[in-house]
Chains A and B, each alone.
Chain A
Amino acid sequence: MSVPQQRQRTASGTPGFLKRSQPRYGEQAVKVLLVAASLVSVLTTVGIVVALIPPTRDFFAEIGIGEFLTGTEWAALFNPPEFGVLPLVGATLLITLIALVVAVPLGLGAAVYLSEYASPRTRTVFKPVLEVLAGIPTVVYGFFALKAITPFLRDHWWFDEPPQIFNALSAGFVMGIMIIPTIASLSEDAMAAVPRALRDGAFALGSSRMQVSTRVVFPAALSGIVAAVVLGISRAIGETMIVAIAAGLRPNLSWNPLEGMQTMTAFIAAAGIGDVPVGSIGYKTIFAVGSLLFVLTLVMNLISIRLVRKYREVYE
C-alpha cells in the first residue's frame, strides 16, 4: 500500500523515514473509544459508591453509628423503629457458616478429585455438572430449599423440635451447594498451576497419590485455595434470593439454625419490594445496610484477589 512511497523517501534520504507518513487519526479515535469502554467499569464502582454514600450519611445523621452497629433489635420498617443491625449480621454469618461447612469440604474434595485423580473422560462428565450447578438461578435454589429440603427435614426430623418452615439450615445447606462450583473451579485452577515436577518428585520418593495430594499439591496451592474459599464467603454473604425465600423475613438474633431469620441481603430485598417512600428513614436503611454489605464483600474480594496474585507470581 504505502510501500512505494516509503522507498521514494529512502532514496531521497528524508530524515523522518522511520516516523509514520501521516498521523493516524483513526487509530487514535479507536484507542479513545476503547479507553472509554474500560472506564465504564470504573464508573460502575464510582456509581455504586455515589449511590450508597449520601443516603447512608443521612441515615447516620439520624441514627447513631453505635446504635446501628451494636443494637440487638432490628425493626426498621415498623413503628417504633429499631435500628440495631446485629440480628441481620448474625443471620448472615450463621447462614454463611452453614454454607461453608457444606461447600468447603465438598468443593475441595471435588477439586482434588478433578485435579489429581480423575481421568480426562471423568472430567468431561463432571465438569459440566459443576457448570450447570453454577448456572442455576438462585431463585430456583431458594424454591428448592423452601419447598423440598425444608419439608423433607420436617418430616424426617429425629430430634424433639423440628425446623420451622423458614429456617437457616435449609437456606445455608442449599447455599453451600450453590457455592461448590465457585470453590471447586478456583481451587482446581490453583492445583493445576502447581508444577508437575513437584508431584513427580514426591512420587519418585515413594509417596502415594493421597500423600501427593494432601502433602504436596494442597500446601503448594494453599493461597489459591484460600482465595477460592474467601470468594465463596463473599458469594454467600451477598446471596439474596435463597435466604429471602427460604430463611424468612423475621429479624432474629439467634444461633439456632432451625429458626427463621433475616439476613442483610434479605432485608434489602424486602424493603425494596415494599416500595418504601423515597427520603424516608426506611428508604435510607436500604442504603445503610447496603453500605455495610458492600464494605464486607469488598474486604473479602480484595483479600481473594491478592491471594490469587500471590500464587500466580510463584508458579507462572
Chain B
Amino acid sequence: MGAPVVTQDAPALPPPRLKGRGTPLRERFFRLGLWASLAVGVVFLAGLLLYVVVEAWPRLDSRIWSNFPDIIDPTNAGAQSAIMGTLWVIAFTAVYCLPTGILAAIYLEEYADPDRWWNKVIEINIQNLAAVPSIVYGILGLGVISRGLGFGQTVLTASLTLSLLVLPIVIIASREAIRAVPQSIRQASLALGATQWQTIWRQVLPAAVPGMATGSILALSRAIGEAAPLLLLGGLTFITFNPTGIQSEFTVLPIQIFNWISQSRAEFVALASAAIVILLVILLAMNSLAIWLRNRYARRW
C-alpha cells in the first residue's frame, strides 16, 4: 500500500497534478444524506426519552413502586403489582428458556451434521420462529398453554409463552458464542483423550459463557418489553395484588402501561410515563450488565 513516491528533485517536469478537483458536490450531499439518516434515529431516540421523562417527572416518586393500580384515584395509583409481576414472569422465563436454548445451541453447533435434512429443518425453523409476530405466540399461549393444557391466566402460562417467544434469540446468540471458540481448542482436548461431552463441558462452555450471558440478557430484556402476547391471555387488566406463586394471576409493566394509555384522563398520561421510565430503567440496567459482561469477560483468540 506504498504511497506513490514523489520525486522532489525534478524541477524540469511540470508539477504532477496530485490533487483532485475537490470533492464533487453530489459526493458531499450523499455523505450528508447518509449521516442524516443516522441522525434521524438519534434525534428520535433523544426526543422520545426526553418526552417520557418530562411527562413522568411529577409522578416519579415512591408512589409508583409502593402503591397499587387504582382506576378511580390515579393520583395515588402505582405500579407495584406490575413491577412484581414483571420480575416473577421474567424469572420463570429465564428458568425455562435459558437451559433449553443453550442445550439446543450446543446440539446444533457441536453435534448436528448440517447436511442432514432434519438439522436443516431445525435451522430454518428457528430462523422463521425468530421472525414470527409476537401476537402469534399469544395465540399459541391462549390456545395451547392457557386453554389446551389448562394452565389459565397465570404466571406459569405467561412465562412459558415468553420463553417460547425468546427461545430463538437465545439459541442464535448462544450458537454465535459457541462458534467463536476456535476449533483448535476442541481438537486439543479431544486429542488428549477427552470425550466429546468432556470437551464441551470443560473447554467450550467456559469459553462461551460470557457471549451466552450477553445474548441471554438481551433476549430476556426483549421478553420484559413484550405486551402483545400477554394481552391475548386476557384478564390481566385490574390486578391489584402481587403474585404469590406460579399459579397466581398477575400483570406486568407493559400491560399496565397499555391500560393507562387507554384511559382518557390526563393524570394517566403522567402515570403511564412514570411506569415507562421504570420499565426503561430496568431495561437499561440489563443492557448495561450485558455490555459490561461482554467487555469484561469476552476473550479474543
Interface, chain A (partner B; CB < 8 A)? 1-3, 24, 26-27, 30-31, 33-42, 44-45, 47-48, 50-52, 55, 105-110, 112-114, 117, 126, 128-133, 135-144, 146-148, 177, 180-181, 208-210, 213-214, 231, 234-235, 237-241, 244-245, 265, 268-269, 272-273, 275, 278, 286-287, 290, 293-294, 297-298, 300-302, 304-305
Q: What sequence of 0s and 1s flags, for each residue 63-102 of chain B, a beta carbon within 8 Å of any chain A beta carbon?
A: 0000000000000000000000000000000000001110
Among A24, A112, A241, chain B packs the most CB atoms within 10 A around the CB of: A241
- Contacting residues, chain B, for A114 (C-beta < 8 A): 38
Residue of A nearest to B132 (CB): A297
User: Complex: how many Å from CA A271 to CA B66?
Assistant: 32
**Contact indicator B42/A129 (Cβ below 8 Å):** yes
- Contacting residues, chain B, for A293 (C-beta < 8 A): 133, 135-136
Q: Would A272 and B129 be within 8 Å (CB), given that A137-B254, A305-B124 are in contact?
A: no
**Contact indicator A140/B111 (Cβ below 8 Å):** no
Within 8 Å by CB of B125, from A35, A41, A214, lies A41
**Contact indicator B24/A41 (Cβ below 8 Å):** no
- Return B272 CB to nearest CB of chain A, in Å: 6
- Contacting residues, chain B, for A209 (C-beta < 8 A): 27, 31
Within 8 Å by CB of A117, from B34, B142, B273, lies B34
**Contact indicator A135/B51 (Cβ below 8 Å):** no
B167 on interface, CB distance cutoff 8 Å: yes
Q: What sequence of 0s and 1s flags, for each residue 233-267 of chain B, a beta carbon within 8 Å of any chain A beta carbon?
A: 11101000000000000000010011001100000
Q: Would A51 and B148 be within 8 Å (CB), given that A38-B107, A135-B221, A143-B261 are in contact?
A: yes
Q: Would A48 and B140 be within 8 Å (CB), given that A140-B279, A177-B44 are in contact?
A: yes
**Contact indicator A38/B108 (Cβ below 8 Å):** yes
- Contacting residues, chain B, for A50 (C-beta < 8 A): 143-144
Within 8 Å by CB of A51, from B38, B45, B48, B140, lies B140
Interface, chain B (partner A; CB < 8 A)? 23-24, 26-27, 30-31, 33-38, 40-42, 44-45, 47-48, 51-52, 55, 99-101, 103-104, 106-108, 111-112, 121-122, 124-129, 131-140, 142-144, 147-148, 164, 167-168, 171, 193, 195-197, 218, 221-222, 224-228, 231-235, 237, 254, 257-258, 261-262, 269, 272-273, 276, 279-280, 283, 287, 291
**Contact indicator B45/A133 (Cβ below 8 Å):** yes
- Contacting residues, chain A, for B269 (C-beta < 8 A): 147
13 more CB-based (< 8 A) A-B contacts, given A41-B125, A135-B225, A268-B232: A37-B99, A38-B103, A42-B125, A52-B139, A132-B45, A137-B226, A139-B227, A140-B52, A208-B24, A209-B31, A241-B227, A300-B131, A301-B128
Q: Would A44 and B37 be within 8 Å (CB), given that A136-B280, A143-B261, A268-B139 are in contact?
A: no
Within 8 Å by CB of B142, from A41, A144, A272, A300, lies A272
User: Complex: how many Å from CA A293 to CA B140?
Assistant: 13
**Contact indicator B124/A105 (Cβ below 8 Å):** no
- Return B144 CB to nearest CB of chain A, in Å: 5
Is chain A's interface secondary structure helix, strand, loop, or mixed overall? Answer: helix
**Contact indicator B41/A231 (Cβ below 8 Å):** no
Residue of A nearest to B260 (CB): A143
**Contact indicator A109/B38 (Cβ below 8 Å):** yes
Within 8 Å by CB of B131, from A33, A235, A287, lies A235
Q: Would A139 and B225 be within 8 Å (CB), given that A41-B122, A41-B129 are in contact?
A: yes
User: Complex: how many Å from CA A27 to CA B199?
Assistant: 11
- Contacting residues, chain B, for A27 (C-beta < 8 A): 195-197
**Contact indicator A109/B143 (Cβ below 8 Å):** no
User: Complex: how many Å from CA A209 to CA B140?
Assistant: 49
- Contacting residues, chain A, for B168 (C-beta < 8 A): 41
- Contacting residues, chain A, for B40 (C-beta < 8 A): 106, 177
Residue of B nearest to A126 (CB): B38
Q: Would A1 and B136 be within 8 Å (CB), given that A34-B103, A126-B38 are in contact?
A: no
Residue of B nearest to A38 (CB): B104
**Contact indicator B129/A269 (Cβ below 8 Å):** no
User: Complex: how many Å from CA A126 to CA B27?
Assistant: 22
Among B125, B171, B287, chain A packs the most CB atoms within 10 A around the CB of: B125
User: Complex: how many Å from CA A22 to CA B228?
Assistant: 52
- Return A97 CB to nearest CB of chain B, in Å: 17
Residue of B nearest to A294 (CB): B136
Q: Would A272 and B138 be within 8 Å (CB), given that A137-B254, A209-B27 are in contact?
A: yes
